Chain A
Amino acid sequence: MIEDRPLIYKYLRHDKKFPHVWCGGCGIGILLGSLIRAIDHLGYTKDEVVLVSGIGCSGRLPVYVDFNTLHTTHGRALTFATGVKLAKPELKVIIIMGDGDATAIGGNHFIHAARRNLDLTAIIVNNNIYGMTGGQYSPTTPYGQRATTAVYGSVEHSFNIAQLAVCAGAVFAARGTVYHVRQLDGLIEKALLKNGFSVVEVISQCHTHYGRLNKLGNQIDMMKQQRDSAVPVEKARKMSPEEMEGKFEIGILVDREAPNYLEQYNKVRQKAKNALSLQLTKEEKEESERREALDKQ
């Protein structure tokens, strides 16, 4: 009874080995499920979806799913995605990045992609640390927290990824957690539907490194912390900075309209063609005048 089989089997690559590569209890697997449900619910065909990733734990995600998948260099996923989308606008391009991938090595690409407003959906898995390389501190490691390269505690202040996206001009920016998985499905769906550059920051747990180094417990404890420190955006707006200390808002931070890059570039194409046809008319006119002059001789 094929129709009874879980949805996930329709999308996982049958020739890949499972279970997947991530640690037991890692949030990236939960996000993958969320993403697949959102894509399925929106009815995109497998052929029209392009899944692009960078390097890191999150970079391993595309290989498991049966879309057009592209596993790029560290931090550069958005640049490859820009090329794919511009070359074939009918494709639905989704980018999966980690916190270090998107905001450290790829930080410049991230803000410029947001500014440019090409119709892409960036999903950023934020686990506060570089997991794959063994737990070094990332741009989202909170001040004072430990990592293998910050054994005395990080002295840098962290990025708020979703806010960064808002400030850089993303037309849609949201934050969810892997604990609030139903909400996450909805956020990803809305981001995919959005015309323009949309960002979903997904708070996830790295109990293997971040949790262990900072004594935050296992994956279950860390998911409970997500549950306890997440505040819905609407509620957070009414709270004072002191009350928000150690907490973060979840939900849609911004949802606005702006013309996307391709719509704008199509105008450029039209202008270029108009200019060309004017030029051709002028050339033709000159040509016929020249011929007339020759005839007269």
Chain B
Amino acid sequence: MAKKGKHSIAIYQSWCKRCGICAAFCPAQVLAQDEAGNPYLKDPDQCTGCQLCQLRCPDFAINVKSPRKKEDKELGKNGEKVEEGTNA
């Protein structure tokens, strides 16, 4: 699990079909697949909270939760559209 204040990523293994899309298209290489194909968090600290893994998961088996705090606004710089005041 990610550190406090960072993004937490939850993978529901029972719904996961190990297609690998989450890992293949993670812009920050946070996710990877083990030998059996199961996704795991290789480098959670690198997560930018872009949620692309969650959006692209065909099986709703992954969820990214971002802290909703003002100081986290700068997270938006990685392609995430974050407007002033929306994180309140």
Asked whether any CB of A lies within 8 Å of a CB of B in the complex, the reply is: yes
Q: Which residues from A are CB-within-8-Å of B17?
A: 19, 23-25
With A and B bound together, what is the CA distance between A109 and B84 in angstroms?
46
- Nearest opposing residue in chain B for A9, CB measure: B60
Interchain CA distance A238-B71 in the complex, whole Å: 43
Q: Are B55 and A30 closer than 8 Å at their CB atoms?
A: yes
Report A11-22 CB contacts with B as 1/0, cut-off 8 Å.
010000011101
Q: Which residue of A24, A179, A181, A185 is within 8 Å of B59 (Cβ)?
A: A24
What B residues does A32 contact at CB under 8 A? 58
Shortest CB-to-CB span from A224 to chain B, Å, is 8
Q: For the complex, give the distance between the alpha carbons of A34 and B56 in Å.
A: 9
In the complex, what residue of chain B is closest to A8 when comparing beta carbons?
A: B60
| A6 engages B60 (CB within 8 Å) | yes
Judged by DSSP, the binding face of A is helix
Give A277 Cβ to nearest chain B Cβ, in Å.
Answer: 55
Q: B20, B56, B61: which has the most chain A beta carbons within 10 Å?
A: B56
**CB–CB A27/B58 < 8 A:** yes
- Taking CB as reference atom, which chain A residue is nearest B18? A24
Contact call B19/A24, Cβ cutoff below 8 A: yes
Q: How many residues of chain A are within 8 Å of chain B by beta carbon?
A: 29
Interface residues of A in 1-45 (CB under 8 A from B): 4, 6, 8, 12, 18-20, 22-30, 32-34, 37
Residue A178 at the B interface, CB < 8 A? yes
Encode B1-37 as 1/0 by CB contact (under 8 A) with A: 0000000000000111111110011000000000000
Q: Is B57 an interface residue (CB 8 A)?
A: yes
B42 within 8 A of A: no
For residue B21, give the distance in angstroms from its CB to the closest CB of chain A. 6
Report yes or no: A219 in contact with B60, Cβ–Cβ below 8 A: no
Which residues on A sit within 8 Å (CB–CB) of B59? 18-20, 24, 29
Contact A220:B55 (CB < 8 A) given known A6-B63, A12-B60, A33-B60: no
Expressed in whole angstroms, the Cα–Cα distance for A26 and B21 within the complex equals 10
C-alpha spacing A26/B57, complex, angstroms: 9
Interface string of B42-70 (1 = CB under 8 A from A): 00000000001011111111010100000
Docked complex Cα distance between A24 and B14 (Å): 13
| Whole-angstrom CA separation of A37 from B54 in the bound complex | 12
Q: How far is the CA of A220 from the CA of B32 in the complex (A)?
A: 13
**CB of A206, distance to nearest CB on chain B (Å):** 12
Q: Considering the chains assembled together, what is the distance between the CA atoms of A26 and B61 in angstroms?
A: 13
Q: When A4-B65, A18-B15, A181-B52 are in contact, do A30 and B57 touch as well, CB less than 8 Å?
A: yes
Q: How far is the CA of A25 from the CA of B24 in the complex (A)?
A: 12
Contacting residues, chain A, for B24 (C-beta < 8 A): 220, 223
B residues near A23, Cβ cutoff 8 Å = 17
Residues of A contacting B57 with CB < 8 Å?
29-30, 33
Residue of B16, B21, B25, B65 with highest tally of chain A CB at under 10 A: B21
Interface of chain A residues 214 through 236 with chain B (CB within 8 A): 218-220, 223
CA distance A18 to B13 in the complex (A): 12
B20's partner among A8, A19, A25 (CB-CB below 8 A) is A25
Q: Which residue of B lies closest to A185 (CB)?
A: B55
Question: Chain B nearest CB: distance from A120 CB in Å?
Answer: 25
**Residues of B at under 8 Å CB distance from A?**
14-21, 24-25, 52, 54-61, 63, 65
| Additional A-B contacts beyond A18-B59, A24-B18, A223-B25 (4; CB < 8 A) | A18-B15, A29-B57, A30-B55, A223-B24
